[in-house]
Structure 1
C-alpha cells in the first residue's frame, strides 16, 4: 500500500472532510489547501509565542480520520510539512496507520510537501513550499466496516481531499471513555514506530478508551493556556506527565515549580472537578536524574549519523533550587499527597514504574532522552497495566 497518484479506472467519490470525520483534534483551521488539524484550540494558540510549541501542536499525534464505509479503496490528499535538521541525517517521511475494525491493516506515507529546515546551532528555521501528495490504500475488505487513518504524529499535515470508491460517513461513536493526556515529546511519540504505536496510543488501545493526545514536544511547561484547553475539553479520564521539559529547558526553579503545578491542576479541576486525574512523574532519564538543564545537542557523533543530547547544568546548583528529575518526582509526590485529602480522584504515578533502571539497562534511550519503538511499546503496556486495571487510577 504505497503512495501514488489517482487511478482513473476507479469511479472515485470525493467527500468533504469535516470535524465529524476526525477524532483527537481540538480545532480545525481552514487553509488555502484544506484543513489543518490543531491539538490546541485557537484561543490557546493566540497566547503562545514559541515556535517549538506552534510546530508541536500542529503535528497531529493521536488525530485520526474515523469513517464507516463499504469502500475497498481510499485516497487521501495531504500537504505535509517535513522537518530537516542541518547536519543531521534525513528523517523518514511521516507514516499513516490504517486500522480496519480496530485492527492494523496497512501503512503508507506521502512524499513531497513543504520543507521546514531547522539549524539547531543558530536557532533559525525556514520553510520552502512543496506540492500536495497522495496516500492510497487499496484492497480493503469487502462490506461495511469502520476505518481509522491515523495521521503522522511528527509531521504537520493539511488535509486536502478524501476519495473513496463507495460512500463514507463519520464512524459512529464508540461509547468508550475519553482519555485526555498531556506530556512532552515522549508522549507525542518521538521515535515511536508509527502514530498508532506511540505509547499513549498503545495504552489507549489496551485500555479500551478514546485518546486525545496533548503530548507537546519540548512544550510540557505548565503553560496556563494548555491547562485551560484541558479544562474545556470533554474527558472521562485525565493524565498529566510533568517534568522532563521543565528540567531540560531550565524553565523555572523549585520555588516557581510547586505553585505552577498547583495552578495547572487547579485550572484543570475547574472543568473536571471529580474526573480521575493522574499525575505522572518522569520516566528514568539518566541525563537529567541529578543534573539540571538546559539540555543541549551533542553533535560529536554526527559523522556516524548519531545525534545525542547532554545536560549542561551543574549538579551543585540543586542547592539553589535548580530542578532535576529526582527533585521533580519528590515535589510532585508531595503535591499530590497534600491535595489528596480534598481530592480523592487525584492519583500519582512514578514514571520509573513505566521505565526504570532495569529497563534502561536493557533498552537504553538512544539519544539520551527519547525512547525507541520497543520502549514506547513497553511504556504503553506498563501504563495500561497500572492505570486501567482494577486497582488503577482509571479503573471502571
Structure 2
C-alpha cells in the first residue's frame, strides 16, 4: 500500500488545514478569522467539514483513510448517527461508509457546556474500485469534526487537475451547513452544486450566519466565480441585533464581498419558511418536553409585539433584504435576490414539516438543492452562464446510493 501525505492540494472546500498531534484538521474559516471569535459553537461548526472532500486521480482499487472523528452527544437527547463518508468515482456515487468510534463532545444545552473526551483514530475503507485511471472523491462527514490521519492506496495518487469548473462560494446557517441531511452529498448546497456541475466551497455554519465581519473578509479573500449568502434565521434565533443594526450590517457584509469580487454574480437569499419565527422574534430555545419520546424540538421565546421596538422576525428580514438588494442593484447589476420560500414554503411545510421546527429533513434538503439549481443555475437564473457551461460534465450525485 502507498501512503500519501495529506496536503491541501488533495482537498477541496477547506480554507485552512491545522496541523494536529494526529494529522491535519480541515477548517472552513482561516486561522485569522477563527482567532477573532471565541464562540465554541462557531469553532465546532467551522471544524465540521461540510462540502470538504478529498479529490484524487489514481488507478487504485482500494482506498483507506484513517480519521479521528469527534462525535456529538447531547445530554438527554437520542444518540446521533455516525457521520457518513460518500465515495464518488468520476462524479458518480460509488460507495458509502461510516467511522464508528473516535472522540466525543458531550453538549449540555440546558447548562450551555461542552466536554471533550479524546478517542483513537479509526479506518474508513473503500475496495473494489475500477482498475483504471479515474477521479476519486471522498466527501467527509458534513456534521462531524474530522481529523485526517493517513491516506493509503494500492496505487499512487495525485491531485485531480483543474477541470475548469466555476467555483461557487456559499455562506449560510445550519441549513446550508446540512443539519438533518443524511449524507455529505445530500446537503442542499452539495446537491445544487452537483446538478450545476460547479465546485462548491460551503461556508454554511450551524448557528454562525451572523453577518460576522471576519466571515465576510474570508469570503472576500477566497477565489470564487459565483457567490451566494443566505441570511436571516441565525440573526433571529440568536436575537443578536435589532432592525437598526441589521440593515447596515448587511450593507457592510456586501461591501466587503465586493472588495474582493467586484463583478462576480452575487446572490442574497432570504430565509426559508420557519413558522415559529415568521412573526415571532427570538431567541430560539430547545424544547425538552418531548425528550422522553426521543424528540428534540425548538421554540421561539420572543413576543410578536416586540417587533414594534425593532426586534427581528423572518418576515421583517425578508422585507429588509429585498429592499437592500433592490436599492444596491441599481448600481450593481450583478447583485441578485432570491426569496428563500421559493426553496421551501407553505406547501412544502404542509408536506414535509420541519421535524424539530427549525431544520429541514433529508428529503427536503434534496428538494431545496434541486430547486436552487433550477432557479439560480437555470436558463433564467443569476448563475445561468455557469450552469450552461458546466451542464455537460455535471456529476450524478443524488444524495442516495
Q: TM-score, normalised by structure 1?
A: 0.97
- Name 1:9's counterpart in structure 2: none
Shift of 1:309: 0.3
Instruction: Please give the per-residue CA displacement for 1:38-74, whole angstroms capped at 9, x wherever unaligned.
Output: 0000110110110100000000000000000101111
Distance 1:157 1:172 in 2: 25
1:318 to 298, 307, 314: 307
Shift of 1:162: 0.2
Distance 1:374 1:86 in 2: 27
- Name 2:330's counterpart in structure 1: 341
- Name 1:52's counterpart in structure 2: 41
Distance 1:217 1:230 in 2: 17
Distance 1:225 1:207 in 2: 29
| SS of match in other structure, 1:251 | coil
Instruction: Please give the per-residue CA displacement for 1:176-226, whole angstroms capped at 9, x wherever unaligned.
Output: 000000000000000001001100000000111000000000010000000
Equivalences for 1:287-302 in 2 at 5 Å?
287-302=276-291
Shift of 1:361: 0.3
| SS of match in other structure, 1:162 | strand
Q: Are positions 1:210 and 2:210 aligned together? A: no
Q: Are positions 1:374 and 2:374 aligned together? A: no
- Name 2:109's counterpart in structure 1: 120
Q: Are positions 1:189 and 2:178 aligned together? A: yes
Equivalences for 1:216-235 in 2 at 5 Å?
216-235=205-224
Instruction: Please give the per-residue CA displacement for 1:321-369, whole angstroms capped at 9, x wherever unaligned.
Output: 0000000000000000110111000000000000000000000000000
Distance 1:68 1:205 in 2: 19
- Name 1:269's counterpart in structure 2: 258
Distance 2:372 2:100 in 1: 34
Shift of 1:285: 0.4
Q: Are positions 1:358 and 2:318 aligned together? A: no
Equivalences for 1:68-217 in 2 at 5 Å?
68-217=57-206
Distance 1:314 1:196 in 2: 38
Distance 2:15 2:150 in 1: 20
Q: Which runs of 5+ in 1 are unaligned?
A: 1-11
Shift of 1:395: 1.0
Q: Kindly tell me the number of residue pairs found equivalent between the two proteins.
A: 385
Aligned residues: CA RMSD: 0.5
- Name 2:6's counterpart in structure 1: 17
Shift of 1:114: 0.9
- Name 1:5's counterpart in structure 2: none
Shift of 1:112: 1.5
Shift of 1:390: 1.4
Shift of 1:279: 0.1
| SS of match in other structure, 2:176 | helix
Distance 2:130 2:233 in 1: 43
Distance 1:74 1:209 in 2: 25
1:40 to 22, 26, 29: 29
2:238 to 232, 249, 253: 249
| SS of match in other structure, 1:214 | strand
| SS of match in other structure, 2:207 | coil
- Name 1:303's counterpart in structure 2: 292
| SS of match in other structure, 1:342 | coil
Distance 1:335 1:16 in 2: 47
Distance 1:65 1:138 in 2: 16
